[in-house]
Amino acid sequence: MASIEFNNVSFGYEKDKVIIEDASFELEQEESICMVGPNGGGKSTLIKLLLGLIRPWTGQIRVFGNDPESSRHLIGYMPQHLNFDDQFPITTLEVTLMGCLSSGSKIGPYSRKDRASAEAALEKVNLGEMAKKRFSTLSGGQRQRALIARALVSDPKILLLDEPTANVDQSVEEEFHNTLKELAEQISIVLVSHDLGFVSGWLEHVLCVNRSVHMHPTASIDGKTLNEIFGDNIVAIRHDHDCPPGEHIHHHGEDCDHGK
């Protein structure tokens, strides 16, 4: 069974203003994907569709065979911007515990089981010792890992990360990359990035999102080629793998802008 399936999905927030047009792709279980495309191209919209926060105009979305809303518990999500206020007093464990929430959450405080899973998730990202520390005292990289732990705590089958390294420095990004690489062996990772340097061998596919949506394999592209492709002057992604010739001709800068 496919983990994610989009069939001819179209969506827009206003009438006549289509954001995602006729998107079709499929992701197998434990496969990982990097979603790229220009700002405003519809990446965030695709995430909302995937989480079942908005419904498509037409077409069908399936997450592990069900509609996204009822499969929400299978997705661990890490939002793009955490407008975190350093004066917000909250411990790392309390942040992680939020991952235990669901629409069917019992009233009252978190259960002992929730606490145990949150602690286990923090251990998984090597933050076990920071559980009782105030979240604001964590370094940038530690915060990112704590937010991953929060996304992992519900034991998801898909980890959905929206521009996770947008505001962190290079070294943090590398460390973060390694954490993800390990995780990718167990679950599907859907990574949104406008930074194409992030795309590398352990991600099976690249999904170009710019109103239209196209999937490309990365397996045949090694790191070096990727650097060439995404490095200084980005020219092209090899679109010939998935698509029969002539079905979609990709003019870069127009259809799927891979510029920096």
Partner 1 sequence: MGSELINALNEPLFDFLRYALAAGLLASLSFGIVGTYVVTKRITYIAGAIAHCALGGIGFGLYAKHELGWQWFDPLYGAIIAAVISSLIIGTVVLTRSEREDTVIGATWAVGMAVGFLFIKMVRTVTVNIESWLFGDINFVSSSDLWTVAILGVSVLILTILFHKQFVAICFDEEFARSRGINVPFFYMLLLLMSAVTVVLLVRVIGIIMVIALLTLPAALGSRLAKGLPGMMVWAVLICSIFLLLGLEFSMRIDAPAGPSIILVAGSAYFGFLLIEKILGYIKSHGGK
> Does the protein bind partner 1 through residue 17 (CB under 8 A)?
no
Which of 103, 170, 178, 233 touches partner 1 by CB under 8 A? 103
Instruction: Convert 226-259 to b/e letters by CB count within 10 Å (16 or more is b).
Output: beebbeeebeebebeeeeeeeeeebeeeebbbbe
> Does the protein bind partner 1 through residue 82 (CB under 8 A)?
yes
> Does the protein bind partner 1 through residue 192 (CB under 8 A)?
no
The overall longest dimension of the chain from CA atoms, in Å, is: 58
Which of 6, 25, 64, 77 touches partner 1 by CB under 8 A? 77
Q: Which two tokens stand for residue 2?
A: 């496919």
> Does the protein bind partner 1 through residue 75 (CB under 8 A)?
yes
Q: Which two tokens stand for residue 37?
A: 């495309």
In 135-246, which residue ranges form alpha helices assigned H by DSSP?
Answer: 140-152, 170-184, 223-230
Q: Which two tokens stand for residue 229?
A: 């492709």
Q: Which of 161, 209 has the CB closer to partner 1?
A: 161
Q: Which of 18, 98 has the CB closer to partner 1?
A: 98
For β-strands 75-78 and 58-63, DSSP reports them as unpaired
> Does the protein bind partner 1 through residue 107 (CB under 8 A)?
yes
> Does the protein bind partner 1 through residue 89 (CB under 8 A)?
yes
From the list 183, 184, 187, 163, the residue with the least C-alpha distance to 173 is 163
Instruction: Provide, rounded to whole angstroms, the least separation between the CB of residue 135 and partner 1.
Output: 9
Q: Which of 22, 94 has the CB closer to partner 1?
A: 94
Q: Return the DSSP state at 163.
A: S
Mark the segment that binds partner 1 (CB under 8 A) among 66-74, 123-131, 171-179, 191-199: 66-74
> Does the protein bind partner 1 through residue 87 (CB under 8 A)?
yes
Instruction: Kindly state the helix (H) or strand (E) to which residue 190 belongs, with its residue range.
Output: strand 188-192
Q: Which residue bears the tokens 């795309």?
A: 199
User: Distance between CA atoms of 69 and 67, rounded to whole angstroms?
Assistant: 6
> Does the protein bind partner 1 through residue 95 (CB under 8 A)?
yes
Q: Which of 90, 243 has the CB closer to partner 1?
A: 90
Mark the segment that binds partner 1 (CB under 8 A) among 21-29, 74-82, 197-205, 248-256: 74-82
CA distances from 162 to 32, 131, 167, 220, 249 (A): 14, 24, 12, 25, 28
Instruction: Provide, rounded to whole angstroms, the least separation between the CB of residue 106 and partner 1.
Output: 10
Tally of CB atoms within 10 A around 175 = 16
Residues between 144 and 163 that touch partner 1 (CB under 8 A): 150, 154
Question: In the beta sheet, which residues pair with residue 75?
Answer: 158
Which of 85, 232, 247, 254 touches partner 1 by CB under 8 A? 85
Give the residues lining the site for partner 1 (CB under 8 A): 51, 53, 69, 72-73, 75, 77-79, 82, 85, 87-91, 94-95, 97-99, 101-105, 107-110, 132-134, 150, 154
